[in-house]
Chain A
Amino acid sequence: MKILEVNNLTKQFSGLTALNDVSISVEEGEIRGLIGPNGAGKSTLFKNIAGFQDPTIGEIVFDGQNITGKKPHDIASMGAVSTFQECTLFEDLTVLEHLLVGCHIRAKANIFESILGGFSNKYTKKQVQAMDRALEVMDFVGLSERQDQQASALPLGSQRALSIAIAVCANPKVLLMDEPFAGMNIEETMQMVKLTRKIRDTGVTILIVEHDMKAVMELCESLSVLNFGTLLAEGLPGEIRQNEEVINAYLGGLKK
């Protein structure tokens, strides 16, 4: 079953065409990689799917529903949750607090409940729910020992794991990952590969936008290659590695 479909998507920025008639469909339960040289339009496609930008033409269908033009928080509530490449964390919040924020969708509290706090059964229930989920996910990604540390004090690998854990708290059907391996050493990369697989094994479909070819080849089950805003090739990692057009695109300008 297809869980995410991008149909004939075009994105223009005042004359510049960043994406030209791109169609991609992602199967439920797979790990899909989206690669391409610099400026290929990977991040633009990512932002369009996550709702941070609206496509000029074309539509995006997630889980049978058209999500084109929807707001990021609506898309997240439907189950397509994104993580970012720039290490974006809520700085002075602790690890546990990050995950409690991550449980926002399942434990949304309104202002009156919040002021009542412990006097409101509804609020208490939500708080317990959020706490349970946060502790569960913290254990899942292996951050339990760092529960009370501030996020800005964590090493890079743990920060990245935390940013993914926040997304996992939100119970995604599809996890959109923007360059999860950027700036990591080999050991950290391997841990991240393991974690990503582990998340997939819980039934989450994963779409990765990435530069690091080695990690992508190892992790992804299928790849889509973008170049100059168009879809260049699609297939298994082994096929992509052999594909002449892809090699040319990466080495640059060796077209015949």
Chain B
Amino acid sequence: MNTTQTTNVNSNSSILYRWLAIIVVLAALLSLPYGLRYQHQDLLIFLVINFLVVVSYRLMTLTGEWSLIHLVIVGVGAYSSAMLTKFLGLSFWLALPIGGLGGAMVAAMLCYPLFRTSQFYFLIGSFAAGESIRLLWIYDIGTFGGTSGIHGLPLPELFGIDFGEAINYYYLVLVVVGICLALLYRLEKSRVGLTLRAIHWQPKLAESIGVNAWGYRSAAFIVASFFAGVAGVLKVHYLGNLNPHQFDITPMVFVLIWVIVGGYRTFYGPILGAVVLVVFDEVLRSFQGFEDIRPAIYGFILILSILYLPDGLESLAKKPIDYVYKWLFNK
């Protein structure tokens, strides 16, 4: 209640501050890679791509369903693009949206069987569906390259910019991910987003006022999969190769942990989770002898966060943000 009133009263200055905040964040993001070492620049690129993975995953969770197939869909986008660019010689710029469409198409085909179930059964069903797609990649050596995958993927080409250079690729990723996140943000704040949240709380009540819950769940899944596919394309073209193991259950669990630890109630929660945990992981890695127990530490953090921070890191971040907000407007 308070926030809407405040924005009404201070609409002009609040818009100004919002733009200021956006400019500051943008400047920070643009200058960030210059202060980093080479391997950390790589890490930064994958982190930004993962923003898109976690935020699109969250669109799914808005309807109340958690899946384990999201990373396989990322893989579908990656494989589509890899095969199109490598075997058919298509340009990266065309393969980027087509990779997204590939992910969306696979999701659309899975909607009918998967959304006949819900909750826990949906989770298991999505895992099974994902594994069968992955097994297809592993056993079909002809087209998908089996366990060793596909190598030597081309880099994007544009006005002779060298996208092999980490900083250039970083800017490319920043632009693409930025656009995708803006689209997802607008979708969430729209009437469709509101309907998705309603379905999350009370699917029956939503149906009783004419909402096709099945249709909306499917739509959320398909849209989330489109953006997952785009993320997959961005990822593998920087790596230059791909194989089925990049998309197995372990990294999927990491995505889940980022979303849960970060918090899934707000748009920025999963991003926060990804940033904090990836940085934390990197710090751990710099200490010798911690490598083997890193998964255990991750698990420990997950347990701690479920016990003491059920609303995720976002609930911690909310207080200082509100505080700054109040301080700015003397409220």
What is A's interface to B at a CB cutoff of 8 Å? 50, 52, 71-73, 76-77, 81-84, 88-93, 97-98, 100-102, 104-105, 107, 109-111, 114-115, 117, 123, 126-127, 130, 148-149, 163, 166-167, 169-170
- Residue in B closest to A148 when the chains form the complex, CB atoms: B1
Question: Does B209 contact A101, Cβ atoms closer than 8 Å?
Answer: yes
Residues of A with C-beta under 8 A to B211 = 73, 101, 104
A97 to B211, CA, bound (A): 15
Shortest 10 CB-CB contacts between residues of A and residues of B: A114-B190, A76-B210, A90-B201, A105-B210, A148-B1, A72-B207, A114-B192, A109-B191, A101-B198, A170-B209
Question: Does B202 contact A90, Cβ atoms closer than 8 Å?
Answer: yes
Question: Does A93 contact B198, Cβ atoms closer than 8 Å?
Answer: yes
Q: B209 contacts which of A105, A115, A127 (Cβ < 8 Å)?
A: A105
Question: How far apart are B221's CB and chain A's nearest CB, in angstroms?
Answer: 12
Question: How far apart are B180's CB and chain A's nearest CB, in angstroms?
Answer: 11
B interface SS class: helix
A117 to B198, CA, bound (A): 19
As a 0/1 sequence over residues 187 to 211 of chain B, the CB contacts with chain A under 8 angstroms (1 = contact) are 1011111110110011011111111
Residues of A with C-beta under 8 A to B198 = 90, 93, 98, 101
With A107-B191, A117-B186, A126-B191 already in contact, 12 other A-B pairs whose C-beta atoms are closer than 8 Å = A71-B212, A76-B209, A77-B210, A81-B209, A84-B204, A90-B201, A101-B206, A114-B193, A115-B183, A117-B190, A167-B208, A170-B210
A117 to B212, CA, bound (A): 21
B219 interfacial contact with A, CB 8 Å: yes
Residues of B with C-beta under 8 A to A149 = 1
- Residue in A closest to B265 when the chains form the complex, CB atoms: A92
As a 0/1 sequence over residues 206 to 225 of chain B, the CB contacts with chain A under 8 angstroms (1 = contact) are 11111111000001000100
A97 to B4, CA, bound (A): 13
As a 0/1 sequence over residues 150 to 173 of chain B, the CB contacts with chain A under 8 angstroms (1 = contact) are 000000000000000000000000
Question: Does B207 contact A148, Cβ atoms closer than 8 Å?
Answer: no
Q: B187 contacts which of A50, A71, A104, A114 (Cβ < 8 Å)?
A: A114
Inter-chain contact total with CB atoms closer than 8 Å: 101
Question: Does A166 contact B187, Cβ atoms closer than 8 Å?
Answer: no
Question: How far apart are A194's CB and chain B's nearest CB, in angstroms?
Answer: 23
Question: Does B208 contact A50, Cβ atoms closer than 8 Å?
Answer: yes
Interface centre among B194, B195, B201, B208 (most CB of A within 10 A): B208
Residues of B with C-beta under 8 A to A91 = 201
A192 to B162, CA, bound (A): 70
Question: Does A90 contact B191, Cβ atoms closer than 8 Å?
Answer: no
Question: Does B191 contact A115, Cβ atoms closer than 8 Å?
Answer: no
Question: Does A130 contact B208, Cβ atoms closer than 8 Å?
Answer: no
Residues of B with C-beta under 8 A to A148 = 1, 4
Residues of B with C-beta under 8 A to A81 = 208-210
Q: B204 contacts which of A52, A77, A100, A110 (Cβ < 8 Å)?
A: A52
Known: A89-B201, A89-B202, A92-B201. A73 touches B207 (CB 8 A): yes
Known: A92-B201, A114-B191, A149-B1. A104 touches B183 (CB 8 A): no
Question: Does A88 contact B204, Cβ atoms closer than 8 Å?
Answer: yes
A98 to B198, CA, bound (A): 8
Question: Does B1 contact A114, Cβ atoms closer than 8 Å?
Answer: no
Question: Does A76 contact B192, Cβ atoms closer than 8 Å?
Answer: no
Q: B191 contacts which of A84, A98, A100 (Cβ < 8 Å)?
A: A100
Question: Does A76 contact B208, Cβ atoms closer than 8 Å?
Answer: yes
Interface centre among B195, B204, B205, B213 (most CB of A within 10 A): B205
A1 to B183, CA, bound (A): 50
Residues of A with C-beta under 8 A to B201 = 89-93
As a 0/1 sequence over residues 93 to 136 of chain B, the CB contacts with chain A under 8 angstroms (1 = contact) are 00000000000000000000000000000000000000000000
Known: A89-B205, A115-B186. A127 touches B191 (CB 8 A): yes
Question: Does A104 contact B195, Cβ atoms closer than 8 Å?
Answer: yes
Residues of B with C-beta under 8 A to A50 = 208
Question: How far apart are A176's CB and chain B's nearest CB, in angstroms?
Answer: 9
A38 to B204, CA, bound (A): 23
A111 to B226, CA, bound (A): 13
Residues of A with C-beta under 8 A to B193 = 114
Residues of A with C-beta under 8 A to B205 = 84, 88-90, 163, 166
The contact sample of 22 A-B pairs, CB cut-off 8 A, is: A52-B204, A73-B207, A73-B210, A73-B213, A81-B209, A83-B208, A84-B205, A84-B208, A89-B201, A90-B197, A90-B206, A101-B195, A102-B209, A104-B210, A105-B210, A109-B192, A111-B187, A114-B192, A148-B4, A149-B1, A169-B209, A170-B209
Question: How far apart are B111's CB and chain A's nearest CB, in angstroms?
Answer: 15
A219 to B191, CA, bound (A): 36
Residues of B with C-beta under 8 A to A110 = 192
Residues of B with C-beta under 8 A to A105 = 209-210
Residues of B with C-beta under 8 A to A93 = 194, 197-198, 201
Question: How far apart are A151's CB and chain B's nearest CB, in angstroms?
Answer: 9
Question: How far apart are B34's CB and chain A's nearest CB, in angstroms?
Answer: 33
